[in-house]
Amino acid sequence: MNQSSASGRKRQPEVTQRRLLDVAGEIVGEDGVAALTLDAVAKRAGVSKGGLLHHFPSKQALLAAMVETMADRFMRTADELGEDDPDQRGRAARAYVRTAFSEPDTEIRRWAALSAAFMSDPNLLDGWRERLREVRARDREECADPIAALVARLAADGLWLADVGRLYDIDAETRSALAERLIALTR
Amino acid sequence: MNQSSASGRKRQPEVTQRRLLDVAGEIVGEDGVAALTLDAVAKRAGVSKGGLLHHFPSKQALLAAMVETMADRFMRTADELGEDDPDQRGRAARAYVRTAFSEPDTEIRRWAALSAAFMSDPNLLDGWRERLREVRARDREECADPIAALVARLAADGLWLADVGRLYDIDAETRSALAERLIALTR
């Protein structure tokens, strides 16, 4: 969308904010976090610099919102998968594993680009930590064996790390055997 | 050690290099990777800037050597633990789990400080990737169930990520139950 059409109609602030976050995600996914400047985001989104600063007063604020958005999307996907799961026992942990194993490549690239940012500023993960506290509370309620569920969650996190850091060469067959094994741990 | 005593006696290049890496590790462990400058390392090690540049021509070269040193220490610890393990089946995977669960806080702080660097420059992990290929080959030889061993390794990596990113509040009792479970997976 070019600048004239963007300014040509009345937009809700949430729509603009969402668009800025989408564009920021595209930039880091394509060119890494070093390419993420407020100017680049404003230009690509067809939003004035002032309009951008209204939503995100700093690059740090933008990064925080990006991590929050990705964490939110991950946990929402997990929630939806959980709702479709007829077996209540270990449901949240199983949905977490399934979500981790089905993260699309575009999302992995964004996580990879952002990981350097949240590793150097642990505050960016505050929202994620809060969500993990909630899901572990659910595990304790709904899992026959909460330790096994935690093993499954940690292994899913390890797979995330392997994907983001390209650590292991895990072929499709091994990947699917792994998923099956972790899902079994949640039952 | 101050500058005069350092220059006062003949030192092997390897000793200097080791000292520079130790000092660099202390700096990032105490004050984070932002505090790591070649000048700061040279000064604290009592080595001239030229002497430092001889060993590490750039901050990038220093970071690469630091990651390599930590990866090496981790895998060496695992090798030693493995040698003391009378049960050959799943030995390497079990030693990896034990090493991950006993990483000292100082080491976790260094990993945390360096993680932003290797997340933004995946080449820094080339040596680690090579080692992982070797250990997985060992798993395939010595494990009755290589997928279970990989689950244990990935969960240990997930715990590393949790420690480095302070993601989960895992109490000592849960931690020890986790270790026991992962070790059982390697048998």
Output phi, psi for B86, to 5 deg.
Answer: -70, -20
Distance from CA of A145 to the nearest CA of B (A): 11
CATH code reported for the domain at B1-57: 1.10.10
Q: For residues A52 and A38, what is the distance between their CA atoms, to the nearest angstrom? A: 8
Which amino acid, A169? D
What's residue A9's pLDDT?
54
**From-to residues of CATH 1.10.357.10 in chain A:** 64-187
Distance from CA of A153 to the nearest CA of B (A): 8
Show the low-confidence residues of chain B (pLDDT under 50). Answer: 1-6, 8
Q: Which fold has domain A64-187?
A: Tetracycline Repressor; domain 2 (1.10.357)
- Contact across the interface for B132 and A168, Cβ inside 8 Å: yes
- By Cβ distance, the residue of B115, B167, B178 closest to A125 is B167
For residues A90-125, one letter each, b for 16 or more C-beta atoms within 10 angstroms of the residue's C-beta and e for the rest, the string is bbbbbbbbbbbbebeeebebbbbbbbbbbbbeeebb
Write the ipTM: 0.89
Q: For residues A98 and A139, what is the distance between their CA atoms, to the nearest angstrom? A: 15
CB B67 within 8 A of CB B118: yes
Q: For residues B161 and B177, what is the distance between their CA atoms, to the nearest angstrom? A: 18
E runs forming strands in B41-169? none
Return per-residue pLDDT of chain A as tens, 187 residues: 444 444 545 568 889 999 999 999 999 989 988 899 999 999 999 999 999 999 999 999 999 999 999 999 999 999 999 999 999 999 999 999 999 999 999 999 999 989 988 888 888 999 999 999 999 999 999 999 999 999 999 999 999 999 999 999 899 999 999 999 999 999 9
Residue B120: list chain A partners with CB under 8 A: 32-34, 116
Q: Nearest residue of A to residue B151 by CA position?
A: A155
Identify the DSSP state of B122: G
Sign of CA dihedral B167, B169, B174, B176: positive
- Which CA distances in Å does B45 have to A81, A148, B25, B107? 54, 47, 11, 20
**From-to residues of CATH 1.10.357.10 in chain B:** 66-187
What is the number of CB-based contacts under 8 A between chain A and chain B?
116
- By Cβ distance, the residue of A120, A151, A162 closest to B178 is A151
- Contact across the interface for B157 and A153, Cβ inside 8 Å: no
Most B-contacting residue of A28, A111, A150, A160 (CB-CB within 10 A), to test interface: A150
**From-to residues of CATH 1.10.10 in chain A:** 1-57
- Contact across the interface for B119 and A112, Cβ inside 8 Å: yes
CATH code reported for the domain at B66-187: 1.10.357.10
